[in-house]
Amino acid sequence: MLFYDEPLALWISDMPLLISAKVLDIARLLDLGLNWNKEGYVCGVDHDTSMKLSKALDSVTISVAQYMRLALREPRVASSKFAEWLTDPYTMREGRMSDVVGNIVYSDTARPGWFDLTCIGERGLPPSFANESGLHKWKLWTLGHGYMTSGAMRGFVTSSGTCSLDLGIPVFARHPNIMIREAYAGEPIVAYSPLEATWQRYQSLLQCGRRDDKALDTMRKDFTDDDLHAGDTVDSFLEEKHNEMRRDLVG
């Protein structure tokens, strides 16, 4: 789902980029190898792939400073489901961590710390951080290797259930949970699909721990052709996705 953030003047997705024929065509043109998971989200992308693919899609990759303030305004972007690259690269120089223009960021190397979103500086980074975690605190990792360029990544620490800002991730890193968030300067045209809305209602009734079989049976009996209408699409991946949805919904 896209929402509009007025300070950034961007339409931002609260979910990762989905694979589609358009995305695949761009990846082939740029000679980018892509993977996607069972939900159809593009995943396992390194820093270079994420930047190139986003640019070709006219999507804006958000910086650390932009993202940290966005997370304070819109907690929904602090996802526990996926990690994402931010634009900023960092390097180690003479034992001190620097940003892309040479500003010294931290003198501590490979150090974990915790901070509050309300206490961040001009560059989006906390000027200081605590040694212990706390309620609603984010985890920070600084860069720990000399002569290596790293990328900034917004991630999630499953052991503590907290979000993280990792500044020392190698730019060549790939992981199934590293995905791409779309953000656009202009409002994208999104065709309305009654089928997608029907699918969301269906999934809500299937949620683990509170499955409602009676409501599911009632929903299926009341389906109309309009409920199963996918809307207009020329994308072969979306068409196949919608066909699978219909097959599941009608049993």
Last residue of a domain, one of 134, 153, 184: 184
Cα within 13 Å of Cα(96), Cβ side = 10
Query: Range of 205's domain?
Result: 194-249
- Residue 149: what pLDDT? 77
Cα(57)–Cα(32) distance, integer angstroms: 13
The answer on 33 and 118 residing in a single domain is yes
Q: How confident is the model at residue 53 (pLDDT cuts 50, 70, 90)?
A: very high
The answer on 65 and 124 residing in a single domain is yes
Does residue 135 form part of some domain? yes
Q: How confident is the model at residue 168 (pLDDT cuts 50, 70, 90)?
A: confident
Last residue of a domain, one of 129, 157, 184: 184
Residue 159 has pLDDT above 60, yes or no: yes
Last residue of a domain, one of 157, 184, 211: 184
Quick: pLDDT tens for 79-117.
888 999 999 988 877 777 888 888 888 776 667 889 999
Q: Looking at residues 122-126, what average pLDDT do you find?
A: 88
Q: Which of 112-121, 139-148, 208-217, 242-251 has the lowest mean pLDDT?
A: 208-217
- The 10 Å CB-count burial string (b at 16+, else e) for 91-121 is bbeeeebbbeeeeebbebeebebbbebeebe
- Residue 210: what pLDDT? 66
Phi/psi region, residue 232 (left: phi>0; alpha: psi -120 to 50; beta: rest), is: beta
The answer on 12 and 64 residing in a single domain is yes
The answer on 208 and 152 residing in a single domain is no
The answer on 156 and 78 residing in a single domain is yes
The order of strands in the sheet holding 10-16 is: 2-5, 10-16, 181-184
- Long-range CB contacts (within 8 A, 24+) of 229-235: 229/193, 229/194, 229/195, 230/193, 230/194, 230/195, 230/196, 231/191, 231/192, 231/193, 231/194, 231/195, 231/196, 232/191, 233/191, 233/193, 235/20, 235/21, 235/22
- Output 63 or 104, whichever has higher pLDDT: 63
Does residue 210 form part of some domain? yes
Q: Which of 5-9, 35-39, 61-65 has the lowest mean pLDDT?
A: 35-39
Does residue 154 form part of some domain? yes
Q: Looking at residues 33-40, what average pLDDT do you find?
A: 90
The answer on 53 and 169 residing in a single domain is yes
Does residue 189 form part of some domain? no
Cα(1)–Cα(6) distance, integer angstroms: 16
The answer on 89 and 156 residing in a single domain is yes
Does residue 107 form part of some domain? yes
Q: Which of 83-87, 111-115, 182-186, 213-217 has the lowest mean pLDDT?
A: 213-217
Cα(91)–Cα(100) distance, integer angstroms: 7
Q: Mean pLDDT: which of 9-13, 114-118, 156-160, 184-188 is highest?
A: 9-13
Question: Residue for token digits 């599941």?
Answer: 248
Q: Domain tally for the chain?
A: 2
